[in-house]
Structure 1
Amino acid sequence: MEKDDLGVEATQNSLSFIPRSVDSARVLSGESYAYYTPCPTAITPHDKSNPTNGASESTPCVLGVDEAGRGPVLGPMVYSAFYLPIELHHSLLAKDHSFDDSKALTAAVRANLMHLLNTPGHALYESCGYAIKLLSARDISSGMMKPGTAVYNLNAQAMDATIEIIRGVVEERGVDVREVYIDTIGNPATYQQKLERIFPSLKITVAKKADSLYPCVSAASVAAKVTRDVALEVLYESVLQAQAIENAPTVPEGWGSGYPSDSKCVGWLRRNMDPVFGWGNECRFSWGTAKEMLEVKGGARVDWPADDEDGNGMLSEFLLASGPGKGSGQNGLREWFGQKQAEII
C-alpha cells in the first residue's frame, strides 16, 4: 500500500472533489458503511420479475476486488468491488484509461480516474460500477479488542467485507457477474476455496498481485485508495477545526502517512493524545502503537465505579452521591469526570 503523506496541504487541495463513496457525516461519526453506484447504462441486470424473458438478457460482467488501508493506525480500511461488461474489461480499463495498481499511479492520476468514474456521460461512468465497504477505525478496533474467543480479527473483517460487497452487487442488484478476481489475503488457495463455497456459480480467481494482473482489480484498487484518502482528509480537517475551536496549537506538517512506521504519524499521535480518551474516531486503538502510548507513555488510568454484588449498582447513584472527592448534583458530575489536562508531548 502506498504511504502518501497526508496533511494540511493535501487536505486543502483534495477536498474540492469528494467522491460519492465518501459519506463525510458517517466517516466523522466513526460509522462503517457500504456504498453502491447505480447500475451503469451499459449493463442490463437480471430481470428478477421475468427471468425467462429473452428480450431482456443480462450483460455478462467481470468483477474485481481490492482494498486500501489495511496497515495504518489512522483512518478506515476500505474494500472495493469494481465491475463492467466482460467484453470491455481490457479495452476500456487497460487500453483506453491505463488503470494499474494504485501504488503505481500518482495521487493526481488516481483522483482523475475516480472523477471520471463519477462523471455522467463519460465512458467509465456509463459502463462501470463499483461498491465500497468502509470499515471505520473505531469498528476495526472494537472487533479486534473483543475479549476471548469473541475477538473479530482483521482477516475476518476483511473477508466479511469482501463477501458483503460481492453479494450486494450480484444478489441484491442482479448484476450478471461471471468472473471474479481478488487480491489475496493470506493463502490464495484457502481464500479462494472459502469464496467458492459461498458463491458456487461464480468463477473466482484469488491471486497475489492481482491488482497488477487484472484491470478490474486495478480499478477496484483505485476506487478503494481514493475513497480512503479522501475519508482520511475529512477526518484530518475535522481535527484541525476542533483544535481551532479549542485554540490549541496546530502542527502544519500534519499526521504523515498514518502508518506506525512513519515518525511523523507517531509524533502527531504523541502530541494529540488525550491522557484519558486517547484520540477520536480517526485512530485504531487496537494497534500496538496506540496501545503503547496510552498504557506506557503517559495515559491516565481511571477507576470506574463497580457494580454491587447483585450487579445492581447505578452509575448515576455514584456520580450524584455526596462525599469527599465527589461533591453533589451537577458539580459532582463535573468533578467526577475531571478536566482535560495539558497536552502530552
Structure 2
Amino acid sequence: MTHQGELFTSAPLDNLKYEKSAYSKGCQYVAGIDEAGRGPLAGPVMAAAVILPVGLSINGVDDSKKLTPGKREKLFDIIMSQALSVGVGIITATDIDRINILQATRKAMLAAVHQLYPAPDYLLIDGISTIDSVTTQKTIKKGDSLSLSIAAASIIAKVTRDRLMIELDTKYPGYGFAGHNGYGSAAHMDAIRRLGPSPIHRLTFAGVREFVDSNI
C-alpha cells in the first residue's frame, strides 16, 4: 500500500516549467484550470481551478483521462488536502444549449476562478481559449499533460463530474449515466431512442436533437 508521504516528491522540471515561469515573474498564486464534460450528450460541463503550493509535486498526477477511476479518486483526495485553494464551476445542460458549449466552458472556468482564495495572479488554462478575466493568463494545448496545476484541475473536474453523474443516474434512471457519464455510447444512444431525452440532455447536440420532438 502506498502511503501519502510517498506520493510527494521533488517537483520535476517538465510539469512545473509553466508554473516556474510565472513565479520568476513575481507571481505567487498560479492557478491551473481545466474542464470536464465538453463532449457528452447529457449533464453539465464542469471546470476546476487549482492553486498548488510553490514547489509541490504529487507523484502520478497527469491528464485525468489517462488515469484509472481508482487512481483519480485517490489523487482527488490528496489534491484537495494539499492545494492552497480549489474552485469548481458548473454550467447546466440548459445553459449549454442556450449559449453553446464553448461559451459554457469558458463560463464554468471563470466561475471556478472566482471561487479561489487567495485570488490567483496568473492563470494556466488547458486548451486555446482564454476566459473573461483581467488576471494574466496563458493557454496551453494539452496543458493537462504539461502542467501539474492543470493536471490537478483536470482530476478535480473529472471526479466531481463523475460523482454528480452517478447521482443523476438515480434521479433519471434508465439512461445509464453512472456508466457512461453522459457520453454517446451505444447503450446511451439506445436509451435516448427508447425513452427520449431527459431534462439533463443537451438538446442542441447531434444524437439528441433528432429526438427532441419524437420518442422513437
> Shared fold by TM > 0.5?
yes
Cα distance, 1:254 vs structure 2: 7.0
Q: What CA distance in whole angstroms lies between the structure 2 residues aligned with 1:236 and 1:157? A: 22
Q: Normalising by the residue count of structure 2, what TM-score does the alignment of the two structures yield?
A: 0.77
Could you say what secondary structure the match of 1:158 adopts? Answer: helix
Superposed, 1:177-196 pairs within 5 Å as 177-184=120-127, 188=128, 191-192=129-130
Residue of 133, 144, 157 corresponding to 2:89: 133
Does the CA-based 8 Å contact 1:257-1:265 persist in structure 2?
no
> 2:51: which partner in 1?
83
Which consecutive unaligned segments of at least 5 residues does structure 2 have?
A: 1-26
The residue type paired with residue 146 of structure 2 is L
Q: What CA distance in whole angstroms lies between the structure 2 residues aligned with 1:106 and 1:77? A: 20
Q: What CA distance in whole angstroms lies between the structure 2 residues aligned with 1:166 and 1:251? A: 32
Residue of 205, 211, 216 corresponding to 2:149: 216
Q: Deviation string for 1:109-152 (max 9, x for gaps)?
A: 0011113344xxxxxx14432100011223222x1xxxxxxxx2
Residue of 115, 125, 134 corresponding to 1:199: 134
Q: What CA distance in whole angstroms lies between the structure 1 residues aligned with 2:212 and 2:195? A: 12
> 2:63: which partner in 1?
101
Q: Report the identity percentage.
A: 27
Cα distance, 1:267 vs structure 2: 0.7
Q: What CA distance in whole angstroms lies between the structure 1 residues aligned with 2:175 and 2:91? A: 27
Does the CA-based 8 Å contact 2:42-2:182 persist in structure 1?
yes
Cα distance, 1:226 vs structure 2: 0.4
Superposed, 1:165-180 pairs within 5 Å as 165-169=112-116, 173-175=117-119, 177-180=120-123
Residue of 283, 299, 311 corresponding to 2:201: 283
Superposed, 1:47-86 pairs within 5 Å as 60-86=28-54
Q: Normalising by the residue count of structure 1, what TM-score does the alignment of the two structures yield?
A: 0.50
Q: What CA distance in whole angstroms lies between the structure 2 residues aligned with 1:135 and 1:253? A: 17
Superposed, 1:263-302 pairs within 5 Å as 263-273=186-196, 278-280=197-199, 282-295=200-213, 298-299=214-215
The residue type paired with residue 160 of structure 2 is T
Runs ≥4 residues deviating over 4 A: 250-255
Is the strand fraction higher in 1 or 2? 2
Does the CA-based 8 Å contact 2:49-2:87 persist in structure 1?
yes
